[in-house]
Amino acid sequence: MTVFTEQTRERAREIIARYPADRSRSALLPLLHLVQSEEGYVSPAGVEFCAEVLGLNKAQVGAVATFYTMYKRKPTGDFLVSVCTNTMCNVLGGQQVYDTLAEHLGVGHDETTADGKITLEHAECLAACDYGPVMTVNYDFFDNVDAQTALGVVEELRAGGRPMPTRGARLCTLKEMAVQLAGFADERDGAVADGGPGEPSLRGLRLAEQHGISVSGFDPNTPIRSKAEADQAAAEAKAKAEAAKPAPAAEPARPAAVTGSTAPDVKAPDDKSPQVRTAETRQPDAGTAVPDAPGTKVPTDGAPPAPRDAQAAEAAGAAANPPAGDGKPAGDDAGAQQRNLKEAQK
Ligand code: FES
């Protein structure tokens, strides 16, 4: 098993210290980048390390690590080459770029060349459709690529070169990139670069300007308000709207009951959608307990279920799922499951 270095442990403590003491689990994302910076991927040892330093269990860490594609679950090459094959790039030749690289490198999706240098993957939209087809190397962009330029980039990388991406800083290895993503400065020369938006991204703005189109009342210099200021403004707007409401009209006098009528009672129309009715039947009040949640007692006499204390529920769940220190992932404790089931059936 990998033993993480003292420097990594020191950095882990620094990351955790960035968050409030009772919110340390928020440090999980940068911590996963941190372990990836040491091993090149999030190994089982990396998962255990994160669980240990955050007091979580391995299943909780694994659930996050497997959700985000930037966390690699098996050894990955020095350079992760991602080719966008989503709709826009695809119609512009993205698939051809991917196929050419796959054939040249002799690897498929999420596979690494034998020299450990390049991992190839096809990617969903890389959020640069205006530069399509695009590919990234360790998340730095190469815009408007074709098969030949893509081949040139990977060959230069395999030969030990560091080609300059179209935008951003010079390329670094995946491990070096993971250090940055964990929130630590990269001190190398040219490791960080910035730049304004390119002309393709500004095309819509230019057209709007040419045609005199503007959004009425939009002031790009409007300062961004703090949350307290925004809350206060919302409260004032609400109070103003309440004050402007017309007073409710007096209830009209009911007509005298018609005796002897044979007309059937007519119910008020129910204009709720079937989905809303179903949701209300399942959970009459979002503030009340969820009927099928373990530990929730659903009364059978029609009384509304008692609200469940969220903190107590969380504490009970944590107690039933000990952290990774004991080597067991969540859900392995059959006793806890039985207790939950019994509680739910009471
Ligand atoms: S479709 Fe390729 S970047 Fe959006």
Q: What is the pLDDT of residues 13-25, one digit of tens each?
A: 999 999 998 889 9
Phi and psi angles of residue 285, each rounded to the nearest 5 degrees, phi first? -145, 125
Rounded to the nearest whole angstrom, what is the distance from the C-alpha of residue 125 to the centroid of ligand 1? Answer: 4
Is 313 in a helix, a strand, or coil?
A: helix
Q: What angle is formed at CA 291 by the lines to CA 287 and CA 297, rounded to 5 degrees?
A: 95
Placement of tokens 């985000």 in the chain? 68
Q: Which residues of the chain have pLDDT under 50?
A: 257-261, 263, 266, 287-296, 298, 326-332
The CATH 3.40.30.10 portion of the chain extends over: 79-172
d(CA 330, CA 317): 10
CATH ID of 79-172, from 3.40.50.620, 3.40.30.10, 3.40.50.1000, 3.30.365.10: 3.40.30.10
Spatial CA neighbour of 109 closest among 95, 124, 120, 94 = 120
* pLDDT for the residue numbered 49: 95
Ligand 1 nearest atom to the CA of residue 87, by list position = 1
3-state secondary structure of 80: strand
* Direct distance between the N- and C-terminal alpha carbons of the chain, in angstroms, rounded to an integer: 45
pTM of the model: 0.62
Q: Is the CB of 86 under 6 A from ligand 1?
A: yes
Q: Kindly state the tokens that stand for 134.
A: 């695009």
HSE-up of residue 42 (Cα within 13 Å, Cβ side): 27
Pocket test for ligand 1, best of 129, 130, 135 (most atoms within 8 A of CB): 129
How many of the other CB atoms lie within 10 Å of CB of 23? 9
Q: Is the CB of 105 under 6 A from ligand 1?
A: no
CA of 146 to the centre of ligand 1 (A): 14
Asked if residue 107 has its Cβ within 6 Å of ligand 1, the reply is: no
Q: How many CB atoms lie within 10 A of CB 84?
A: 28
**CATH 1.10.10.1590 domain extents, the chain:** 1-76+175-192
Distance 68 CA to ligand 1 centre (A): 18
Distances (CA, A) of 121 to 13, 76, 115: 33, 11, 17
CA distance 156 to 79: 11
The rounded distance, in Å, linking the Cα atoms of 79 and 233 is 49
- Report the CATH fold assignment for 1-76+175-192: Arc Repressor Mutant, subunit A (1.10.10)
Of the candidates 89, 190, 96, the residue with the CA atom closest to the CA atom of residue 149:
96
**Cα–ligand 1 centroid distance for 308 (angstroms):** 45
**Cα 131 to ligand 1 centre (Å):** 8
* Residue pointed to by tokens 């940068």: 30
Q: Which pLDDT score, from 0 to 100, does residue 321 have?
A: 63
Predicted pLDDT of residue 188: 78
CA distance 12 to 15: 5
Rounded to whole angstroms, the Cα distance separating 206 from 16 reads 44
Whole-number Å distance, alpha carbon 21 to ligand 1 midpoint, is 40
Please tell me the predicted confidence (pLDDT) of residue 315.
Answer: 72
The pLDDT assigned to 17 comes to 94
Cβ of residue 126 lying under 6 Å from some atom of ligand 1: yes
CA distance 171 to 39: 19
> Position 72: which residue type?
K
Q: Is 83 in the pocket of ligand 1 (CB under 6 A)?
A: no
* 310 class by beta-carbon count within 10 Å (0-12 exposed, 13-18 middle, 19+ buried): exposed
Give the model's pLDDT for residue 342: 67
Atom of ligand 1 nearest to the CA of 125: 4
